[in-house]
Structure 1
Amino acid sequence: MELYETRNELSVRGKNGLGFIISAFIIWSIITIIFLQSTGTYQKNIYMLFSTGLMFPFSVAISTLIKADWKFENNPLGGLGLYLNIAQLIYFPILFWGIIKSPNDAIMLFAIITGAHLFPFGWLYNSKPYFIMAPVISVTVMFLGLYLNGENLWLIPFSVAILLVILIFLLYIEYKRKIEVNP
């Protein structure tokens, strides 16, 4: 099977990874609520980390609900998606540094890592919205982090959630186009 066809098959069967991006939206909405609370920044950062534990169960549930195949046993690229997600964990020492040394910047660092890790999914799913939104999320969050100076930190996860909604919309439109061309 040609690589291009394999990637398009992966994209259509997995619905462009929409189950995972919808789950990410839910997680970033939860993180927004956490950062709206009156607890200390360190506590918020710890709760933020705990909330990420919901990502995989939500992703599996939402993928099942929208009938997206995320396992891809018969697709040679299926395991690559898992590796790309695990690769995000390699950046967590930066996040841990932020939590310890600069707690107000930890949310910005986590949001940048999240946005940037979406970029290779553009290749995996043969999907331009990932290529566009990954840098948009990362750069937007960086400027917000510079502008906010440790105040109103809830705007960072809120902006990620909004940008993920845009990504969901773009991925859905692209998915619909792909199934029209290759039913």
Structure 2
Amino acid sequence: MDLSMLKKELSVKCKNGVAFLLSASVVWGIMLLIVLSNFEINTKNSLILWSTALLFPLAMVFSKIFKAQWKIDDNPLSILGFYLNIAQLIYYPIVVWALIKRPEEMIIFLGIITSAHLFPYGWYYSTKIYMVMSVFMSVTILFVALRLTLKTLWIIPTLMIVFLILLVILLYKDYKRKEKS
């Protein structure tokens, strides 16, 4: 099988990773509730970081619901998906720095990192949707964040939810097109 066929197989069998994106939407929904809560900022940030641990288990649930594989053992590119997911964890020291030095802005750092880490999935699943949305999401969060106050930080998780759901819709349509071809 050539490279383009391996990538198409990933795109179709994994349904462009929509299970992980839906999981992320739920996690960002939890983060929105935390941001809107009456906890003090350090407690909110700790809860936000802990909520990210739900991503993988929720993705497994969504994978079962959508009958999407999250890995394909006989596809040599499959392990790359794992590494791309782990790459986001390597950016967490930036989030921890923000937690310590700029706690009121930590959610912004997390939003930009989450958005930016989606970029290589465009190559992985052979769809420019990830690339375009990754850049759009990161830049939009940056520009919106420049105008935010502590009372309006809820806008960041709200944007992330909207962006992720839009991404799911676009990627699902892309998957359906590929499935038919």
TM interval, shorter chain, is over 0.9
Equivalent residues, number = 181
Per-residue CA deviations over 1:49-90 (Å, capped at 9, x if unaligned) read: 010010000001110111101121010100000000101111
Partner of 1:135: 135
**Residue in 2 that maps onto 1:115:** 115
Q: Is 1:36 the counterpart of 2:33 in the alignment?
A: no
Equivalent position of 1:175 in the other structure: 175
Partner of 1:84: 84
RMSD of the TM alignment (CA)? Answer: 0.8
Match of 1:124 in 2: 124
Supply the distance in 2 between the matched residues of 1:27 and 1:127 (Cα, whole angstroms). Answer: 24
Q: Deviations over 1:13-33 (max 9, x none)?
A: 000001101101110111011
Distance in 1 of aligned mates of 2:16 and 2:130: 9
What is aligned with 2:94? 94
Q: Read off the aligned partner of 2:68 and give its amino acid letter.
A: A
SS at match of 2:114: helix
Match of 1:8 in 2: 8
**What is the rounded CA distance, in whole Å, between the counterparts of 1:51 and 1:173 in structure 2?**
29
- Asked if 1:105 corresponds to 2:85, the answer is no
- SS of aligned partner of 1:75: coil
| C-alpha distance in structure 2 between counterparts of 1:137 and 1:33, whole Å | 21
1:149, distance to aligned residue in structure 2 (A) = 3.2
Q: Which residue of 2 aligns with 1:162?
A: 162
One-letter code aligned to 1:169: I
Tell me by how many angstroms 1:40 deviates.
Answer: 1.1
Matched position secondary structure for 1:151: helix
Q: Take 2:103 and 2:147, find their aligned partners in 1: how far apart are those partners? A: 16
Deviation per residue, 1:115-159 (Å, 9 max, x gap):
000000110011121011111111111112111033311110110
Shift of 1:104: 1.0
**So what's the TM-score if we normalise by structure 2?**
0.98
CA distance in 1 between counterparts of 2:52 and 2:89 reads 11
1:112 aligned partner, one-letter code = I
- TM-score for both structures, normalised by structure 1: 0.97
Q: Which amino acid aligns with 2:79?
A: G
Q: Residues of 2 paired with 1:25 and 1:11: CA distance? A: 20
SS at match of 2:69: coil
For 1:149 and 1:77, locate their aligned partners in 2 and report how far apart those are by CA, in whole Å.
43
Measured in 2, the distance between the counterparts of 1:124 and 1:28 equals 24
Unaligned runs of 5+ in 1: none
